[in-house]
Chains A and B, each alone.
Chain A
Amino acid sequence: MTRRRRRSVLIVVCGAVLAVALGLVLSAMRDTIVFFRSPTEVASQKVAPGTRFRLGGLVEAGSLKREADGHVEFAVTDTGSTVPVRYRGLLPDLFREGQGVVTEGVLQADGTFRADTVLAKHDETYMPREVADALKAQGRWQEGGAAAQGAPAQGQAGPVSRTATQ
């Protein structure tokens, strides 16, 4: 095999593999990406039932209901709108009413959100960044002010803890 042919074989093979990788990335981008929505966005954008997304906000005070079969129900609010959530599984350690939460799941036709993953932070003072931004959008957030618990104290930002039922 001549030098030139060897070089062209190499280039063709490299090009092919890279093209395949690019194709995989582009097709996966279309199907697997999950968007973040705040309750207000869910209400205003008329998200179609069956859409998978991440819903984030505060767990509304007094909304948490546990059922004997392991189901839990709670409402996620950004103080503008509220979405009821249904989930089966153990909730993260720091899941509390009035605290920030991010859930991932599918919106049902009756307007409830069936979550299969609940993420909360393992720290009292931490607010998920997406939730903080969503609250800011509602004008309910003051940096360093009343809602100062949103800014993680130095050295305290906790890890994501998730519970998932799949």
Chain B
Amino acid sequence: MLIEVGHYALALALALSLTQMVMPIWASRTGDPVLRSVTVPAALATFLCIAFSFGALTYAHVTSDFSVQNVVENSHSMKPLIYKISGVWGNHEGSMMLWVLILALFGAVVALARNSVPPTLRANTLGVQAAITAVFLLFILITSNPFTRLNPAPIEGRDLNPLLQDPGLAIHPPLLYLGYVGFSITFAFAIAALIEGRIDAAWARAVRPWTLAAWCFLTVGIAMGSYWAYYELGWGGWWFWDPVENASLMPWLAGTALVHSTVVMEKRDALKVWTVLLAILTFSLSLLGTFLVRSGVLTSVHTFATDPTRGTFILGILVLFIGGSLALYAWRAPTLRQGGLFAPISREGALVMNNLFLSAACATVLVGTLYPLALESLTGEKISVGAPFFNLTFVPLAVPLLLVVPFGQTLAWKRGDLAAASQRLFVGFAIALVVALVAIAVTWGGPVGAPLGIGLGAYLILGAVLEIVTRARGKTFGLSLRRAAGLPRSAWGTALAHAGVGVTVIGIAAQAWSVEALATLPRGGELRAGPYVAVLEGVLPRTGPNYTETVAHLTIREGGVPVGVLEPGKRFYASRNMSVSEAGLLTIGVSQVYASVGETGTDGRVGIRLYYKPLVLLIWLGAVVMALGGGLSLTDRRFRVGAPALKPAPRDAAGPVPLHSVPAE
């Protein structure tokens, strides 16, 4: 019964979101503000209906209701509770449910954000958001219904793909979707602005927190996915330039550019037309990612099913929203008032460089991802574009961008002084150079790229520190501390996020020093990777709730002294007749020793692969620091007070200023 009610709630949500979509249009025809205000309760009700529907599906999974096809295909009564819950979105239908749930969640939060968004802009934004929600609800109801019943119901389910039975599934998709789908709000704001035909600093200020929040979630979501792949796949890599990874990287690159261009728009009322385009492109890339992952044109862990009607439907959604928004842009953008120009050497100029390099890098990833698909559909020739391609295209574009970052922070708005900025950064550059030289000396004969990368990372971190130091420096130390505490939180957030980039760069660069060793070991056999030696103590059987496991027991020694134990295993899931490797990880500081097991031979020897991964945790910690920086910026005072007037009102002006009370025409 609950299942049917859940299904009904989903249909009801479709009706509600259609209402929410039509009302702002009707309001602009009749000029009746009441119609416009309907969008707010409609957005809340849509969210509640979808949340109920999602809850019903979760309930079916948790109680192992095998009369529901979705539960049968992806669950098992013996599966641990956490995987029963996360298994809800570990399949095609459920992950689309999560997608619309978050879509509606963002709509509901915008509806509740009374103070920060002008009312007409909010109504139009909610209208656009509702259009996206409606189309995806339609997609679920027509092609991917999770509430289909099975009669007769089987006694046992087929279990979730064992690779997905990991805490990573509970964290990675929700975070990634909060980011991916969060950009839908920025998109909706951009379309609303194009429909209204006005766009200004107040628009940028209203949009910025949403963009920043989505960006933070996407950053952590991608990092989490990368770490999951690293420890679950058992082959030691952290980024594979897989099309599915690229699908999430592209919106991140465009979103990073957007976060920076909205700053220029907010502070200087410039780059307007570009920012709107970027907002459209960022969400378009999110949609493209959804299409690539969900339609089955790619095959990977993320592709749960290949059903051509779904692919066609999502392609239709893609064409509708990307084509429609770009057409609207082409039609309306020329009517937007252009912003001012500025000197090339200035904060704005540096942010333009940021946007330029990020867009170019994003474009190379797009080409590398789509070219094989295009070539195959045109000529039938199958190719693969892998890491070598992206190392030759993405990296050369990323390095100059990173070199500009500290300059951008320290240059003044309007007209900057490059000589003074270089002087301020000189200390940081000198220290970073020393760090790189020391790293080269210590690891003489090793790869040269790694020390240079470490130096680059140090330069980024020092640049962020110097920025705060320069801004806070006073006559006495106490005064400096007070000034540092008085700096706006966005300044601290910027510095923190940029330092996080530096941390990640160091982690990535250090991977050039990682060591891999491979051998088939008898009991008591030894294997060395870098400074660590693994000794195979024995192989033990172990039983889990829904699997049996063979665990290799390894002692890790450094210079003869035991430092820890690794227990990589191979799990066999009888319900799927499938075995999965579980890597063993030993964390030492921010470095890791990593082992995975292969087959056990007839002579009792076990295949062991051992890695030493120096500083590897910095890759993901850096991403977390970036997101914390973004989060800190979000708490900045100017986002908590109301939307400002065009001519800067007194800073403490409370409540919204009715900027957009004129009906859009």
Interface residues of A (CB under 8 A from B): 1, 3, 6-7, 9-10, 13-14, 17-18, 20-21, 24-25, 27-29, 31-36, 54, 66, 68, 70, 88-91, 93-94, 104, 121-124, 126, 128-130, 133, 152, 154-165
Q: Bound state CA distance, A161 and B356, in angstroms? A: 36
Partner of B74, one of A104, A128, A155: A155
Q: Is B613 part of the contact surface with A, judged by Cβ < 8 Å?
A: no
- Whether A122 pairs with B580 at a CB distance below 8 angstroms is yes
Q: Bound state CA distance, A91 and B570, in angstroms? A: 13
List which B589-631 residues lie within 8 A (CB) of chain A: 596-599, 601, 607, 609
- Whether A156 pairs with B161 at a CB distance below 8 angstroms is yes
- Whether B352 pairs with A10 at a CB distance below 8 angstroms is yes
- Closest chain B residue to A35 by CB distance? B383
- Whether B341 pairs with A7 at a CB distance below 8 angstroms is yes
Interface size class of B (residues with CB under 8 A): 35 or more
Partner of A31, one of B92, B304, B388: B388
Partner of A162, one of B235, B299, B342, B368: B235
Interface residues of B (CB under 8 A from A): 73-74, 91-92, 161-163, 233-235, 237, 240, 242, 296, 299-307, 341-344, 352-353, 356-357, 360-361, 363-364, 367-368, 371, 381-386, 388-389, 392-393, 396-397, 516, 518-520, 570, 576-581, 596-599, 601, 607, 609
Q: Bound state CA distance, A163 and B392, in angstroms? A: 23
Contacts of B381 in A (CB 8 A): 35
Q: Bound state CA distance, A89 and B384, in angstroms? A: 22
- Whether B392 pairs with A21 at a CB distance below 8 angstroms is no
Contacts of A121 in B (CB 8 A): 299
Known: A10-B344, A21-B397, A33-B383. A70 touches B520 (CB 8 A): yes
- Closest chain B residue to A4 by CB distance? B341
- Whether A160 pairs with B383 at a CB distance below 8 angstroms is no
Known: A88-B518, A158-B161, A158-B301. A24 touches B306 (CB 8 A): no
Q: For the complex formed, measure the closest distance between the CB of A14 and the CB atoms of chain B, giving whole angstroms.
A: 6
Q: For the complex formed, measure the closest distance between the CB of B477 and the CB atoms of chain A, giving whole angstroms.
A: 41
Q: Bound state CA distance, A141 and B577, in angstroms? A: 24
Extra pairs beyond A93-B579, A94-B578, A159-B301 (12, CB < 8 Å):
A21-B393, A21-B397, A27-B392, A32-B388, A33-B385, A34-B383, A123-B161, A133-B382, A154-B73, A157-B303, A159-B233, A162-B235
- Whether B163 pairs with A157 at a CB distance below 8 angstroms is no
- Whether B301 pairs with A122 at a CB distance below 8 angstroms is yes
Q: Bound state CA distance, A163 and B596, in angstroms? A: 11
Partner of B364, one of A1, A21, A90, A154: A21
A-B contact pairs, 19 of them (CB 8 A): A10-B344, A13-B344, A17-B356, A20-B360, A20-B397, A21-B360, A29-B371, A31-B388, A34-B383, A36-B382, A36-B383, A54-B384, A68-B520, A70-B519, A70-B607, A123-B576, A152-B305, A154-B304, A155-B304
Contacts of A152 in B (CB 8 A): 305-306
Q: For the complex formed, measure the closest distance between the CB of A130 and the CB atoms of chain B, giving whole angstroms.
A: 6
- Whether A9 pairs with B344 at a CB distance below 8 angstroms is yes
Contacts of B383 in A (CB 8 A): 33-36
- Whether B305 pairs with A90 at a CB distance below 8 angstroms is no
